[in-house]
Amino acid sequence: MTATRLHLVRHGEVHNPRRVLYGRLPDYHLSKAGRAMAQAAADHVAALERPVVELYSSPLERAQESAEPFAERFDQVPDIDIRLIEPTNVFEGTQMRRSLMNPLNWWHLRQPATPSWGEPYASIAERMLGIMDEAWDAAGGGDVVMVSHQAPIWITHLRVAGLPLRHDPRTRRCALSSVTSFERVGDVWREVAYVEPAATGSAVDVGAV
């Protein structure tokens, strides 16, 4: 048997008072609001009344902490997988607006379609679909939850939809603790739902790469 649905869940709000682009930096944890957001995402998936048989998480702290409500709700131990991690980015650890004011940094923006500032979009899509395929085939029926990050989830959406991977990061539809759900028919993935179960109107969301 294979899985029946796969949910890509973005982590909740991160405590980030300096509003830096944290990327893969360690020690960036969920805020109090972020933990509530993660709980809301888990509550939403539970309300679907579909058995969750596998739980995966990016190795970054904010993702593992966002997986905790799912682990408790569905009695699962998260499988930590590097393929779900945030992509690399040369602006990591900086305040993005300030970095873009420096002409020396403009070179990194020369090829936005790739993008030239970090991991190629095609590489992100390949690793995400790779773990999705493996998890789908390994699950013995039921749903799979994967806690990841904005860019990997959005790139997966674009690839599955057959859209160009080049995009403006400011236009991503992937809110904190959002749930993007997929099904695979044969070898073909299709997106079946996108929801934002958490209240994010006042959230700080400036760390995604």
Gyration radius of the chain's alpha carbons: 17
Contact 46, 59 (CB under 8 A): no
Tokens describing residue 126: 């390949």
Kindly indicate the confidence band of residue 201, based on its pLDDT and cuts at 50, 70 and 90: confident
Percentage of the chain lying above the pLDDT 90 cut: 85
> 80 by DSSP, 3-state: which?
strand
Average pLDDT in the chain: 95
pLDDT of residue 204: 87
Based on the number of CB atoms within 10 Å of its own CB, is 133 exposed (0-12), middle (13-18) or buried (19 or more)? middle
CA pair distance 70, 201, nearest whole angstrom? 23
**CATH architecture group of domain 5-195:** 3-Layer(aba) Sandwich (3.40)
Q: pTM for the whole thing?
A: 0.96
pLDDT of residue 4: 96
pLDDT of residue 107: 87
pLDDT of residue 26: 95
